[in-house]
Structure 1
Amino acid sequence: MVGVQGAVDEAVRTFRDLPGARFVAATLVLVVGWYASRLLVRLLGRPVARRFQRPSLTKTVLGGVRAVAMLVAASVAANQLGFKPGDILLSVTVFSAVLGLVLAPIIGSVINGLFLLADQPYEIGDMIELVDQGKRGYVEDITLRYTKIFTLENTFLVVPNSNMRDRDVINYSAEDTRSRLSLELLVTYESDIEEARAIVERAARETTEVVEGGPDIRIGSARYPSAPVSRVKEFADNGVLLDLRYWVKDPYYLGRVNSKINERIWSAVADADVEMAYPHQHLVFDETSGTARVEIDRGEPAARPEEFDAPD
């Protein structure tokens, strides 16, 4: 056994003395470390997911585990190249200081990413809207540096986390995916208001994506009826303004739902004692309006403005 061990040691020394042997060993260590990090992530994936129960945190933790595994492999590889632990620590310290000065904005985004993961304003898969841009889409990925949004226009929007924390963000997929929407309808004063309210409520109830009814929906300390409700909002200049409030089951097709309800209202109004209002203009002439000399029979042009008789 002693002879075998001595032979092995001699073979190792001989291999190390070969040109480029240390680089080959370091490369092998890095390759093994890379595969080991993947295996480690695969083994810890499910336990970590059950522990945190949030996709963003799970991806961040598993990414950190893989980074640590690769860092250990890189340290071993550096040791194979002749770097001592003290030299490695000094190099890492100097590199970190330079990196902190040069990449300060990125480090700021990473810090804001940690705050985003802690505050949980949104999660992967949520539908959000950036209020200042009017952009709406799904959260595709959350990293320590940026948030990736897949917009409804079939484009990707990558926003640094430092900017995301300063924006007003609407989350349509929070704890309850139901969203309350409104639709306004202007009908004439001659219309049957009760029938108009019944039409818009029925149009909403018959739409598949709308909550038909059930227990009241609670938001904080307030409770709202789940069924569509139409009320008289205002006696406007050109008609009576009705306001329909309804809940949709999922916030993913808001424009489509609104269009379906409008189509049903349009079809129902045609057969009802209800008329949609629109702005009208009436020109009134009386004794104070003056007179205009216009001769049409002979095809002569109308009198010029200065030929009008001004009122007394």
Structure 2
Amino acid sequence: MKAFMDTLETIKIGDFSLGSLLSALLILLVGIFIVKILMRLADRLISRPNVPKTLHGFLHTGIKALLYVLLVMVAMDSLGIPITTLVAVVSVAGVAVSLALQDSFSNIASGVFLLANKPFEVGDFVEADGVSGVVTEIGFSYTRLTTGDNKYIFIPNKQIFSNKIINYTYQETRRVDIDITASYDAPTEAVKKSLQEACDAVPGILEDPAPFVGLTNYGASSIEYVLRVWVKADDYWPVRFALNEKIRETFEANGVEMTYDHINVHMVEDKTK
């Protein structure tokens, strides 16, 4: 066996012996197997309830990258390549890559800030960069949202971090605001009564704070009102849709006319003829 190994050392491929190359290859193969085992253990630790879901992707990718870097360093050491050489190569490559991938690094840095500040977490319904949806993943470079019509939207973290973020599920309750117009012929009390009846008929509206109806403006052909009710965040859209339908029903039942934009055209007879 020793003679065989000595023979392998005498065979040169470039600057390296065949024996050292086979040794490095064996280290890589065994190392990849070990990395997979370690990643399974790491994923179990990452998946614990005390670890925020928003960190799962970051931790998984970071640990995996670190393990593979260590594996490459061990393989290079077996070839007799000094670690300092690797560090120098990585440094030079890092400068070149950083110039070419400025936006990518900016996205990664923004992702770190998003995790640190926690404006949202996986499962929250948010509006970011003009897109609304449920956060399904916060990655190193991108945050993924699932829209109401089941589309996957990938938004660069840089765009999210530098723009306004609205988190609709951060609070347990939300307010539903509905603007309504009614005819000048409809008494204000009749309008308020109809809106209150609509609120009483729709399940999911909270009693505290109580529903509010206010007269907001006198328009050119109608009086404008606003109805405000509080609901649980998950009930926002079902309550809003049901309330809109019920308002029309109660208005019709109580004889309250809902106005709409229209134009009256008066024909004037030409008396010069």
Same-fold call, TM > 0.5?
yes
CA distance in 2, matches of 1:11, 1:32: 30
TM-score, with length taken from structure 1? 0.73
Partner of 2:22: 21
Deviation at 1:114, TM superposition (A): 1.5
Structure 1 residue 213 corresponds to structure 2 residue 207: yes
CA distance in 2, matches of 1:43, 1:95: 34
Partner of 1:264: 246
DSSP-derived class of the 2:243 partner = helix
CA distance in 1, matches of 2:266, 2:32: 90
Deviation at 1:183, TM superposition (A): 0.6
CA distance in 1, matches of 2:108, 2:228: 41
Partner of 2:145: 149
Question: Unmatched 5+ residue regions in structure 2?
Answer: 10-17
Amino acid across the alignment from 1:206:
A
User: Is the alpha carbon distance of 1:122 and 1:264 closer, same or farther for their aligned partners in structure 2, counting shifts above 3 Å?
Assistant: same
CA distance in 1, matches of 2:263, 2:194: 28
DSSP-derived class of the 1:262 partner = helix
CA distance in 2, matches of 1:95, 1:252: 52
- Matched pairs, number: 264
Query: Which of 63, 74, 86 pairs up with 1:65?
Result: 63
Alignment check: 8 A CA contact 1:183 1:245 kept: yes
Partner of 2:13: none
Alignment check: 8 A CA contact 2:183 2:259 kept: yes
Task: Decide which structure has greater helix share.
Answer: 2
Deviation by residue 1:35-83 (Cα, 9 ceiling, x = unmatched): 1331331342255x51xx5221343234322322222222222333442
User: Is the alpha carbon distance of 1:38 and 1:143 closer, same or farther for their aligned partners in structure 2, counting shifts above 3 Å?
Assistant: same
Partner of 2:14: none
Partner of 1:111: 109
Look at both structures and tell me which one has the larger radius of gyration over its CA atoms.
Answer: 1
Deviation at 1:27, TM superposition (A): 3.0
Partner of 2:188: 193
Deviation by residue 1:80-132 (Cα, 9 ceiling, x = unmatched): 3442322222222222222222222211211121122122222211111136x
DSSP-derived class of the 1:184 partner = strand
1:74-85, aligned counterparts within 5 Å? 74-85=72-83
1:215-294, aligned counterparts within 5 Å? 226-251=209-234, 254=237, 256-279=238-261, 281-282=263-264, 291-292=269-270
CA distance in 1, matches of 2:264, 2:244: 29
TM-score, with length taken from structure 2? 0.83
Q: Aligned residues: percent identity?
A: 23
Deviation at 1:264, TM superposition (A): 0.9
Deviation at 1:243, TM superposition (A): 0.7
Partner of 2:174: 179
Deviation by residue 1:143-174 (Cα, 9 ceiling, x = unmatched): 22121111223211111111112222211011
DSSP-derived class of the 2:254 partner = coil
Deviation at 1:25, TM superposition (A): 0.6
Question: Unmatched 5+ residue regions in structure 1?
Answer: 1-6, 215-225, 293-307
CA distance in 2, matches of 1:205, 1:77: 73
Deviation at 1:260, TM superposition (A): 1.4
Amino acid across the alignment from 1:44:
L
